[in-house]
Homo-oligomer: A and B are copies of this chain.
């Protein structure tokens, strides 16, 4: 069984060795090169992914061709378009790898099996979803009440590890500002110190 998943699950949910193995057996490994897509707009998402190596991103592209990043997913994060996945509808999002990566994929039948065989997993995913919702709501509030500089400082404080590995223009896209603005903000922040 994959070691990253094992460590993660042991940490998060109390299961015996057999259950852990079973969970792992339901997922399939996929290697992704940098820039490889896991999902494109218009596709129907067939998987939810657990990242064991590297880093992916979830984003949409607006009418003017501009990318808007909703989520980064490094090791031990889940990523996917829940709506497309569970309703079998075309996605409006893209997911791709921003580094060479490795993911464990769970398809819908596997999820159903998992929920049937390991009922604890239901509450587990429910909790994940709730945490996501809480974070997303906070992001709305914060984007309405704080300046770009404050949001940037909050970002590097909340996700210090991302700041190292994610290119700056993607952080800008996540924050909802242009790369130029972020560059100016960083300059200000540095000279302020």
Contact = CB atoms under 8 A, between A and B. Distances in A.
Interface in A43-74: 60, 62-64, 66, 68, 70
B141 A60 contact: yes
B139 A140 contact: yes
A83 B129 CA distance: 11
Interface in A121-167: 122, 126, 129-130, 132-134, 136-137, 139-141, 143-146
A117 interface: no
Contacts of A64: 145
Interface residues of A, number: 27
A122 B126 CA distance: 10
Contact of A129 (B60, B122, B133, B141): B133
B62 A141 contact: yes
A90 interface: no
Contacts of A132: 133
A66 B142 CA distance: 12
A86 interface: yes
A78 to B, nearest CB: 13
Nearest to A125: B126
Contacts of A176: 143-144
B134 A68 contact: no
A4 interface: no
A82 B134 contact: yes
